[in-house]
Every structure is written in C-alpha cells, then in structure tokens.
Amino acid sequence: MAVCDILKMGDPRLLRVAQPVTEFDSDALHLLITDLLDSMRAADGAGLAAPQIGVDLQVVIFGTDAANPRYPNAPLVPKTVLINPLITPLGEGEQTPSEDEDWEGCLSVPGLRGKVPRYSRIRYTGFDQYGDAIDRTVDGFHARVVQHECDHLWGKLYPMRMRDFSQFGFVDALQASN
Ligand code: NI
C-alpha cells in the first residue's frame, strides 16, 4: 500500500488525455488501484483519478461504503473502480439532456469550492479491474461524481467547466458567509 502525493492544478500532467488500459487483472493494475484507494482514503476524497497521482491511464475510483466526512450530507455512491469509461448524457425522451449546478471540490484544487454545471442524468459504461463490464444509468450526486472523476481523464479540472466565477472561493470563506 502507498499513499501517493496528489498533483495540484498547474501541473501539466493533469492536462493530458489519459491512455486507455489494455491489460486487465494484471499486478500493475491491481497495485495502481490499491494506491488510488489508499490515497483517496488518506485525503477523505469522494473520488480519485489515476492522472491525479501522475499515472497516465484511464482509471478512476469513487464512492464509499460509509458517509464521507468531507461530504456528510451527500447520498452514498457505491465504491467503484471504473476503467476506460464512456459517458452518455441522457434526456427525458427526445429532450436535450438537462444540467444542474452544484458545489464541487477537488483534491487537486485544495481549499477551494466552485459551482459547476453537470448533466443531471447519465449512462456510464466501462470496466472494472478484472475486465468485467460496468453499465449504469444514474442521476444526481452519483452522476456528478462520475463526470468530475472522468473529466480528469480528459485533462479537465472542474474550474474549466465553471461559468460563473462569483460562485468560486475558499472553503473557509464560503462557510463563513453562509
Ligand atoms: Ni477532482
């Protein structure tokens, strides 16, 4: 096990488009997942992507078995390893997929929070570390977490998705004003 340093915004490795995983159930992949889990747990994160520990692969983990102290009121998202993901935004019937805005933080953007638009409802597909297929349709917080983590694989950090920078600030200052 290893708790890895988490790269911070400004590090160019966070801006790469990550490479797909080509070999599943390998020692190297299992070691990477263990490092991600240990690092996420140590930082009380809601999710972590391989590029955040400097690994250029399409691997994210998210979710918890118990409530997260950083997001005590958030609904539980099942603990998931997601590899080579594909996200499809879903609308109701023929309608364009709708968006919600809500607060997000990121272990690579420490101390800050911002209000970020995300698709309300998505289908996501991919594989776990054994190569078994994952196919889920989710909404709300679960959909937000998946979009945030997978964005790390496309070189996107949440401030790059924001539209209103008046809704961006330091956690302690935002809490003091509420
Ligand atoms: Ni993040």
Q: Is the pLDDT of residue 125 over 70?
A: yes
From residue 83, give the alpha-carbon distance in Å to each of 57, 90, 105.
9, 21, 22
Q: Which residue has the tokens 């949440």?
A: 158
Centroid of ligand 1 to alpha carbon of 48 (angstroms): 6
Backbone angles phi, psi at 170, to 5 degrees: -75, 140
Give the global pTM: 0.94
Domains along the chain with CATH numbers: 12-177 (3.90.45.10)
Provide the pairing of β-strand 47-49 with 99-104. Answer: unpaired
* pLDDT of the residue at 5: 94
135, 42 in Cβ contact below 8 A? no
Tell me: the pLDDT tens digits for 37-48?
A: 999 999 989 999
92 catalytic? Reply is no
Residues with CB under 5 A from ligand 1 (ion): 106
Which of 23, 92, 104, 149 is labelled catalytic?
Answer: 149
